Structure 1
Amino acid sequence: MRRYLGIAFGLATHVLFAFTVWHLFWFLKGSPPGDARAAPIPLGTCLGIDAPLAAAFAVPHSIFLLPSVRRRLVAAGIPAPFYGCCYCLATCAALLLTIFCWQPTTVVAWRCVAPFDGMVTAAFAASWVALFYSLHLTGLGWQTGWTPWWHWARGLPQPKRKFVERGAYRFLRHPVYLSFLGLIWFAPVVTLDRVVLIALWSTYIFVGSVLKDGRLLHFLGDTYRDDLARVPGYPGVGFGPLGRVRPPIMLSRDAIEAARR
């Protein structure tokens, strides 16, 4: 019975993942502002609700990566092969909370006129392609928990994740983060609530990029140190921690072990 429940849990988690991606697509794509979609509350209240909702995604996404949290949850009863699925479940729940509770506004911060609006929409679609391509390079199954869960379901030993420099990773260190930036920035019409989303999620992405570099440097040592020196974090960035860097980055034990995810 426990095995059947474990299989059902893994499958249900990935159904939820697909459900979340579908709603995330339409949430980020947005729609032209109008009175019909505006929240029936004052503008300041809308933004006051949206700001913590935008920040809510970063909380489980960060906490679940901490090895100390993982150790406690595994000790509390979560089997190690299911931890990735639980991580995916928490992330999906946070995103769906943000999506379904979001308070849209009608105040336009900026608008792209033709033909630039079509170009921005095309760039949004291209960002989705780039996102799944980048996730494929690192292993989408590791992001959703499918890989360790699927090994458990087939009775195979748990695999070890490795860093392989290939594809887009030969030219930049964070193609997944760059693709996600495209998803939040490329909108032909940007309202004030979207500005809040862009500001908070962009900040989280850039800070997360620096912290991830530090974790990988400590975990992989010389292998990633060489990558830091040769490959910029983002295209055109030639300075700072997101450019080509050589100095070592010191982090806590939790941050080091989190790179194993």
Structure 2
Amino acid sequence: MTEAQAISPAIPGNRLLRFTAFLFGGVAYLTFLFTILYAIGFVSGRFVPKAIDIGPESGIFEAIVINLALMSLFAIQHSVMARKSFKHWWTQFIPKSVERSTYVLCASLMLLLLFWQWRPMPAVMWHVQEPEMAMVIATASFIGWVIVFTSSFLINHFELFGLHQVANNLVGRQMPAPVFRTPFYYRFVRHPIYLGFVIAFWAAPTMSAGHLLFATVTTAYIFIGIMLEERDLIGMFGDEYRFYREHVPMLFPWRKLN
């Protein structure tokens, strides 16, 4: 038992720490919520002041270098902080209850930096002129975002983004052991959240060079992220996840779980 665990929840200082952790988790979640909503506008080019094709133009070489650097920063933070070895090291310095919230906050800040510093590359790769077809494609992108949000709630949205952990810590409850489940979308694809992102990023009536770069790099990173995540899931659930992986496709629902 650590010194922190030995302190009774009745001690005022300990209650203050729990409440502070809860506030931190709330701030991290609200930052995430703002970021993901801004991301919808950023990718679609609507409702936000700085979008993927909006902003001061720069030379093509400068734009490619800066945009790749921004996406690489996000990918490194997102992957490294998600690894079990990093979590084990990191929780020596921060309370375990705020580890997920810290991860969510850092990822959100990296994305906000990307949105802020992104360099538009306005050359048009394709443009759908028929209004009806353009509306169908834009609707598909919106459906992708719906899949992202609903998939997160099917597993545990508030645990995924750190609120469950700080809420349990506030009242002195332990987090329950993880349970492997395959609700709704998860019976057809193993990673519906990532599928939603792929649809949202690629379903564009007008695809600029910058948007194409963003969609290509993020899709490549999604496949790398899946490889790393599934390694962790096998370590957590063993043969149960191996069976699931053998019977359910990764992203595209071409067969069902038997």
Structure 2-normalised TM-score? Answer: 0.84
The farther-off stretch of 219-228 and 195-204 is 219-228
Q: CA deviation at 1:75?
A: 0.9
Q: Is the 8 A contact 1:104 1:193 kept in 2?
A: yes
The farther-off stretch of 42-51 and 96-105 is 42-51
The farther-off stretch of 19-28 and 79-88 is 19-28
CA RMSD of aligned residues (A): 2.1
Which residue of structure 2 lines up, in the alignment, with residue 50 of structure 1?
67
- Between the aligned partners of 2:115 and 2:55, the Cα distance in structure 1 is 14
Q: Which of 7, 18, 34 matches 2:33?
A: 18
One-letter amino acid of the structure 1 residue matched with residue 133 of structure 2: F
Cα deviation code 1:128-170 (max 9, x no counterpart): 1111111112211122111111101122122222210221111
Cα deviation code 1:209-254 (max 9, x no counterpart): 233233322321221122122211122668xxxx99xxxxxxxxxx
- Between the aligned partners of 1:26 and 1:7, the Cα distance in structure 2 is 29
Which residue of structure 2 lines up, in the alignment, with residue 60 of structure 1?
77
Which residue of structure 2 lines up, in the alignment, with residue 176 of structure 1?
193
- Between the aligned partners of 1:178 and 1:137, the Cα distance in structure 2 is 15
The farther-off stretch of 206-215 and 90-99 is 206-215
Q: CA deviation at 1:4?
A: 3.6
Cα deviation code 1:168-209 (max 9, x no counterpart): 111111111101111211121111111111111000111222
One-letter amino acid of the structure 2 residue matched with residue 84 of structure 1: R
Cα deviation code 1:12-57 (max 9, x no counterpart): 11221121122111111125xxxx9352321221122111112222
Which residue of structure 1 lines up, in the alignment, with residue 243 of structure 2?
226
Which residue of structure 2 lines up, in the alignment, with residue 167 of structure 1?
184
Matched ranges for 1:88-99 at <5 A = 88-99=104-115
Q: Is the 8 A contact 1:39 1:105 kept in 2?
A: no
The farther-off stretch of 3-12 and 87-96 is 3-12
Q: Which 5+ residue runs of structure 2 have no aligned equivalent? A: 1-15, 47-52
- Between the aligned partners of 1:157 and 1:59, the Cα distance in structure 2 is 30
Q: Which of 96, 100, 107 matches 1:80?
A: 96
Q: Which 5+ residue runs of structure 1 have no aligned equivalent? A: 245-261
- Between the aligned partners of 1:98 and 1:191, the Cα distance in structure 2 is 17
Which residue of structure 2 lines up, in the alignment, with residue 249 of structure 1?
none
One-letter amino acid of the structure 2 residue matched with residue 145 of structure 1: G
Which residue of structure 1 lines up, in the alignment, with residue 152 of structure 2?
135
Report SS of the residue matched to 2:173: coil
In structure 2, the CA distance between the partners of 1:95 and 1:119, relative to structure 1 (3 Å rule), is: same
Which residue of structure 2 lines up, in the alignment, with residue 27 of structure 1?
42
One-letter amino acid of the structure 2 residue matched with residue 173 of structure 1: R
